[in-house]
Amino acid sequence: MTTQRRGTVLLIEDEDAIADLLRMYCEQEGFRLVHAANGERGIEAVRERDPRAVLLDIGLPGIDGIETCRRIRAISDVPIIMLTARDDEVDKIVGLEVGADDYVTKPFSPREVVARIKAVLRRADEPARVAAVITIGDWDIDSGRREVRHGPDGVYRPTAREFDLLWYLAENRGLVLSRAQILESVWGYDYLGETRTVDVHVRQLRKKIPGIPIETAWGVGYRFEG
């Protein structure tokens, strides 16, 4: 296999064992892995190496992963996948809206991480969506402005991923969509492992957009009423 044909992935992680493992899998899949052992070096590497994707550990010496993510976002749109040590950190990342594209909970399988890298790159390569508005009742979901409008004064701007999720539900209004379907369509995953991601994002949407008619279909998934 030709190595490094897929470009550079930057890993910001203080544990060498994890770095070695991920390097092996990334290189097998044709990525070059650049490793930075702390946040400051990672930010420098984003500037100097122009990676196609960043894997970013939360627990880092010096500035932590969340702050590192914010600082990378200030200088680059590179897709960022956070590596979290605990499940509850996922809520924190989403809640803080630091600008990460995705997250994986440790212990993870390197295969899963590589699958996520490929998924974020696929999305990054997709052509921009044609501007359109879906109107459901008194809700307008506007893909050009990436905002949701409701009533005379209600204008909401969810994060990019939250918007994509809402758009997918709205496009399929009235239908119950399973978590697996949602993951596959919105996140581009081709496996059925992680489904909590969907729940976390739905929760965020409900919090940010009061009254948004996303219903839970217990044991199955979600439906946009309309």
| DSSP per position, 153-220 | TEEE---HHHHHHHHHHHHTTTS-EEHHHHIIIII---SSS--HHHHHHHHHHHHHSTT--EEEETTT
CB of 31 to Ca ion, least distance (A): 21
Shortest distance, position 95 Cβ to Ca ion, whole Å: 20
Residue 14 or residue 140: which is nearer to Ca ion going by CB?
A: 14
Residue closer to Ca ion (CB basis): 59 or 188:
59
Tell me the three state secondary structure of residue 37. Answer: coil
Residue nearest Ca ion, Cβ-based: 59
| Between 81 and 165, CB nearer to Ca ion | 81
**Nearest to Ca ion of 15, 184 (CB atom):** 15
Q: How far is the CB of 176 from Ca ion (least distance, A)?
A: 39
Burial class (CB in 10 A: 0-12, 13-18, 19+), 47: exposed
Cβ closer to Ca ion: 18 or 141? Answer: 18
Query: Minimum Å distance from CB 118 to Ca ion?
Result: 24
The Cα 130–Cα 147 span in angstroms is: 14
- Torsions phi, psi of 223, nearest 5? -145, 135
Pair 59, 83: CB distance under 8 Å: no
Q: Are 158 and 208 in contact (CB under 8 A)?
A: yes
Residue numbers at the binding site for Ca ion (CB under 5 A): 14, 57, 59
CB of 85 to Ca ion, least distance (A): 7
Nearest to 79 by CA among 25, 109, 118, 22: 118
